[in-house]
């Protein structure tokens, strides 16, 4: 415990006085989390709504597949994408390997299952007569889906929180796809691993403290939003 306390005491001045290296990692980590979560939500929310509200053949199988993908190992995703991005592979001509773009792609793919599976579960748990009543009042498909998102907003926000959390804290795929290049493709999580491997424990503790505080702030803020009432108010034309 004494050793840990000494490392924490030595790490705090690095944070307080503003280390440029640390700030660059913070900026890139926030960028990765924002881009990956936004893209995963943009792609995954319609898929989740289709799985939760749709009626089509194979829906149960696809929902099971979405749920199973929550346990997809990040290192496996990173390895598969790496093989696809190597110079001789189908995506090799894009020269994505060990770039920031590769990190964005990997983190988006890892965040996507949380949006799809959790949003589908959230809208499917709505009272069965709610959406049927909206349809009887003249709501179109888009309005019904918007109503479902509004009524299941707590569950949908939980999906976003989970996606954001994995975007902030995942290490394996970032390291494989981005190469963990010093000050360029490092996130806070992968930089912590880098500094530990280099035996720079003070720097590792400083980065880890920032990561923990960032997660607590972001998750706390989203938690507050999750508890707020209100939302989109929808009006439906009376059926004639």
Structural domain boundaries of the chain?
A: 2-227
Q: Where are the beta strands (DSSP E) in the chain?
A: none
Match 């964005």 to its residue by tokens. 104
Task: Note the pLDDT of residue 1.
Answer: 65
Whether the CB-CB separation of 138 and 66 falls below 8 Å is answered with no
Name the more confident of 127 and 40.
Answer: 40
Mean pLDDT across the chain: 86
**φ and ψ at residue 162, rounded to 5 degrees:** -65, -40
Highest mean pLDDT among 130-134, 151-155, 187-191: 187-191
State the average pLDDT over residues 95-107: 95
Q: Does domain 2-227 have CATH number 3.40.50.150?
A: no
At 236, the pLDDT band (50, 70, 90 cuts) reads: very low
Q: How far is 226 from 123, CA to CA, in rounded Å?
A: 16
- Calculate the dihedral angle through the C-alpha atoms of 67, 71, 77, 78, rounding to the nearest 10 degrees: 150
Model-level pTM? 0.87
In whole angstroms, what is the distance from residue 83 CA to residue 96 CA? 11
How much of the chain, in percent, has pLDDT values that exceed 70? 90
- pLDDT of 21 strictly over 70: yes
* Structure confidence at residue 209 as a pLDDT band (50, 70, 90): very high
Look up tokens 């607590």; give the residue.
216
Residue 218 pLDDT level (bands cut at 50, 70, 90): confident
């Amino acid at each position: 415990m004494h050793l840990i306390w000494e490392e924490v005491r030595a790490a705090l001045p690095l944070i307080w006085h503003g280390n440029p290296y640390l700030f660059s990692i913070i900026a890139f980590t926030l960028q990765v989390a924002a881009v990956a979560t936004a893209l995963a939500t943009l792609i995954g929310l319609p898929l989740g709504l289709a799985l939760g509200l749709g009626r089509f053949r194979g829906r149960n199988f696809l929902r099971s597949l979405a749920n199973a993908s929550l346990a997809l190992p990040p290192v496996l995703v990173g390895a598969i994408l790496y093989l696809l991005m190597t110079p001789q592979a189908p995506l090799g001509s894009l020269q994505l390997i060990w770039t920031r773009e590769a990190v964005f792609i990997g983190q988006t793919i890892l965040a996507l299952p949380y949006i799809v599976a959790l949003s589908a579960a959230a809208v499917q748990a709505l009272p069965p007569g709610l959406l049927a009543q909206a349809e009887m009042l003249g709501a179109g498909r888009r309005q019904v889906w918007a109503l479902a998102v509004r009524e299941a907003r707590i569950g949908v926000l939980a999906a976003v929180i989970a996606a954001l959390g994995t975007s902030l804290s995942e290490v394996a795929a970032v390291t494989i796809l981005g190469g963990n290049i010093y000050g360029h493709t490092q996130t806070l999580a992968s930089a912590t691993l880098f500094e530990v491997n280099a035996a720079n424990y003070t720097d590792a503790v400083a980065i880890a403290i920032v990561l923990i505080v960032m997660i607590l702030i972001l998750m706390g803020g989203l938690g507050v939003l999750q508890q707020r009432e209100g939302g989109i108010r929808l009006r439906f034309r009376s059926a004639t």
